[in-house]
Amino acid sequence: MTRTATAWAWCSHLLPIYALYALLFDDSGLSDGSISVLFAIWGLTAVVFEVPSGAIADRFSRRSCLVAAGVLHAFAYASWVVFPSFWGFALGFVLWGLGGTLTSGAFEALLYDGLAANGDESSYGRLNARIDTIELIAQVPVAVLATALFSLGGYQLAGWVSVAMCLLSSVIALRFPEPERGSDDDLGYLETLLTGLREAVPIKRAVLAVALVYAIDAIEEYLPLLVKNWHVPTVWVPLATIGIPLLGAAGASLAGRLPLRGWVLFASGLVLIAAAVLAVPAAIVLVGLFYGLYRFVLVHVETDLQHRIETDARATVTSVASIGAEFVAFGVYGLWVLGSALAIGVLILVVALVIWRR
């Protein structure tokens, strides 16, 4: 389980187009407002399909959901390469959103239940921290690869390499063991969906914490644009931002070893505000520090939620938290248009206060 999860995580995130797609949109003539609309389409797709897809994973097969997600992601990036326009990008985000909803909840549930089948669920926090760390460290070779591929073949080459990696992730997903579940596995789809929704109610504070914190990650989509606005040439943006995922990975890794403190998320917001006020290339270091503190908090709240779920509708409950995050993410998209990173930093302070009080 651990080796397969590690291989899947690496393959799913070694996508060179990820370091370039915001720049692709910008160079294709889209305004900040149009780019935010695309992100909103992405979020709306998740809102519509997040919880239903979680129930599909709980009722049928979580492994099959991961396989299908890789295929959908491949088609998403292919549409960006073949149709580099607003509508081509929109189609890609719909497909990406569908694939994301199939992964969200299904992966965490498959991982947790696989450990629980061997009586090792207490190690989920450490494994979750490792997966988050891999997700972030992968952005380092992605930045190098994106720079090389962009120099050799532009956005098209980076896109087709990303398509191939997505298909490979589907092949790896076939290797996941899927343990048998309890009596809830005999429920129909609608009953499974309702069970997951009912389970989310008594642990609503943990669900809310994941929703609020995870939504902040929407700022990651804007980081290349942020750095470009700080007078970094397009070709160097992937390498200029390479330290941000590294510090994020450090924060995620430390989350598997250190307890959570209520002030950490608040401090991350202050650091992001400081970076936005400076608005110079050197402030990228502060953005990385913000991201490290933020990912430390995210791993903790995600792990806490998984430990609190007591039914077989684990993927559905996790999807409830994810759909809440999508609603909050709409606010992040809007704040970027209104006030860029500074406004999002203020939002983080508000979220930190809400969670701190609870």
Read off the tokens for 246: 């590294």
CA distance 315 to 299: 17
pLDDT tens readout for residues 204-260: 788 888 989 999 988 887 888 888 888 888 778 877 888 898 999 999 999 988 888
- Residue reference for tokens 């209520």: 262
Alpha helices in the chain (DSSP H): 2-13, 21-27, 32-59, 62-82, 86-103, 106-116, 124-137, 139-173, 189-200, 204-215, 223-229, 237-240, 243-255, 264-278, 284-308, 314-357
Does 77 or 332 have the greater pLDDT score?
A: 77
Nearest alpha carbon to residue 39 among 1, 94, 120: 94
Instruction: Please report the DSSP string for 244-297 in residue order.
Output: HHHHHHHHHHHHTTS---TTHHHHHHHHHHHHHHH-SGGGHHHHHHHHHHHHHH
pTM recorded for the entire structure = 0.75
Both ends of the chain: CA-CA distance in Å?
Answer: 34
pLDDT mean over 295-312: 87
pLDDT mean over 161-165: 96
Positive or negative: CA dihedral 345, 282, 221, 293 = negative
Greatest Cα-to-Cα distance within the chain, rounded to the nearest angstrom: 58
Structural domains in the chain plus CATH codes: 2-357 (1.20.1250.20)
In percent, the amount of the chain with pLDDT more than 70 equals: 93
pLDDT at 188 over 70: no
Contacts of 275 (CB under 8 A, 6+ apart): 283, 284, 286, 287, 290, 341
pLDDT of residue 225: 83
pLDDT of residue 193: 65
pLDDT at 355 over 60: yes
pLDDT of residue 184: 52
Nearest alpha carbon to residue 279 among 234, 232, 315: 232
Q: Helix, strand or coil for residue 208?
A: helix
For 161-170, b/e burial (b = at least 16 CB within 10 A) is bbbebbebbb
Mean pLDDT of the chain: 86
Nearest alpha carbon to residue 93 among 37, 159, 138, 146: 37
Write the DSSP symbol of residue 66: H
pLDDT at 358 over 70: no
pLDDT tens readout for residues 1-60: 678 888 998 989 899 998 889 889 989 999 878 888 898 898 889 888 887 888 888 888
Q: How confident is the model at residue 272 (pLDDT cuts 50, 70, 90)?
A: very high
pLDDT at 192 over 70: no
| Half-sphere exposure (Cβ direction) of 45: Cα atoms closer than 13 Å | 20
pLDDT at 167 over 90: yes
pLDDT of residue 196: 66
pLDDT of residue 250: 93
For 235-255, b/e burial (b = at least 16 CB within 10 A) is eebbebbbbbbbbbbbbbbbb
Read off the tokens for 341: 């990173």
Comparing 135-139, 151-155, 165-169, which segment has the lowest mean pLDDT? Answer: 135-139
